[in-house]
């Protein structure tokens, strides 16, 4: 039976991810968006590209969550970006309310699916989505796949070596508190520290942490979507095709790294059941400090999220 992937949010990131999933022949796709005609139009556009892509896959679109029926995996990008004058708490509150509506639709039409959250602030939204979908769906988040791709890109730029030959990973939260792992970064097996001096490595780490902001500053009217879309598509592919690939994933810790109940970006084996196993890696002292800061940041987001849910009397 042909696999199906649902996308809630047919904006730039969702549409790019859907295009990648279809172009690789991974699955049929369904685009759901409050702007139903836009979703329907993008789905038709994707379907019309199928003969050129030589794929038998197709796309449907609209505003009805019923389109998600039969989805094996659902990607959620629905949400609003932070606007001028909007506090982080206001952004979080708005996107929690949007996430609740989305999760209600998923519970009704696609129980049992694996849900990949992309909506920001990612770490908080994955946490609340799991609350809304508890006992119905497995929930994970996409951040580390994108952050790691940026880290590898900057290491490639610095060394002049193909990014294919660079192994590097980013853990922790999504944003300034992320943890690029310099200690284990390597270039064809050669430790990055042997090819790049500490000062440049520190600068590459900082650029990685601010990678999203760099693109926002350049675009001026939007944010990144090619790399985020392709990053989430790589997670979808690993799940649909049961690839058992290690991909940094925002998932709930159950004793790993000495933490439980918190959602953090960690190396995880992704396959047909979603996260099959969390991999614990050794950290340098500097990375342990960054990891601690990242934990504190995520715990604060969780507390703020719980307060919003309580104050707004949001029901699960």
For the annotated catalytic residues, the residue numbers are 174
Task: Give the up-direction half-sphere exposure of residue 52: CA atoms within 13 A in the CB hemisphere.
Answer: 6
**Dihedral of the CA atoms 138, 232, 300, 275 (nearest 10)?**
40
For residue 299, the surrounding DSSP H or E stretch is helix 285-311
**DSSP structure string for 231-288:** HHHHHHHHHHTT--EEEEEEEEEESGGG-EEEEEEEEEEEETTEEEEEPP----HHHH
SS3 32: strand
Pairing status of strand 190-191 against strand 245-254: unpaired
Contact present, 163 and 144 (Cβ < 8 Å): no
Write out the two tokens for 295.
């934990």
Cα 43 from Cα 58, distance rounded (Å):
8
């Amino acid at each position: 039976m042909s696999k199906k992937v649902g996308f809630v949010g047919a904006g730039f990131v969702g549409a790019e991810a859907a295009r990648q999933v279809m172009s690789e022949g991974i699955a049929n796709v369904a685009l759901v968006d409050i702007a139903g005609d836009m979703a329907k139009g993008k789905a038709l556009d994707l379907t019309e590209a199928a003969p050129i892509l030589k794929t038998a896959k197709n796309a449907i679109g609209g505003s009805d969550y019923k389109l998600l029926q039969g989805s094996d995996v659902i990607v959620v990008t629905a949400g609003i970006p932070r606007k001028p004058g909007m506090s982080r708490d206001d952004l979080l509150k708005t996107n929690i309310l949007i996430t609740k509506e989305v999760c209600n639709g998923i519970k009704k039409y696609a129980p049992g699916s694996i849900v990949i959250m992309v909506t920001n602030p990612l770490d908080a939204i994955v946490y609340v989505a799991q609350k809304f979908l508890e006992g119905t769906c497995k929930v994970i988040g996409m951040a580390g796949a994108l952050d790691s791709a940026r880290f590898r890109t900057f290491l490639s730029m610095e060394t002049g070596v193909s990014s294919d030959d660079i192994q590097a990973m980013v853990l922790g939260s999504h944003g300034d508190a992320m943890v690029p792992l310099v200690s284990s970064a390597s270039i064809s097996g050669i430790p990055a520290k042997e090819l790049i001096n500490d000062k440049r490595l520190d600068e590459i780490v900082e650029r990685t942490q601010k990678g999203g902001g760099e693109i926002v500053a350049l675009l001026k009217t939007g944010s990144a979507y090619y790399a985020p879309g392709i990053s989430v598509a790589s997670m979808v592919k690993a799940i649909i095709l049961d690839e058992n690939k290690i991909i940094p994933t925002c998932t709930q810790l159950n004793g790993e790294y000495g933490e439980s109940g918190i959602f953090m970006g960690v190396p995880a084996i992704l396959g047909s059941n979603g996260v099959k196993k969390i991999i614990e890696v050794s950290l340098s002292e500097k990375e342990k400090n960054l990891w601690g800061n990242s934990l504190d940041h995520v715990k604060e987001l969780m507390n703020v999220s719980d307060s919003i849910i309580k104050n707004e009397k949001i029901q699960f």
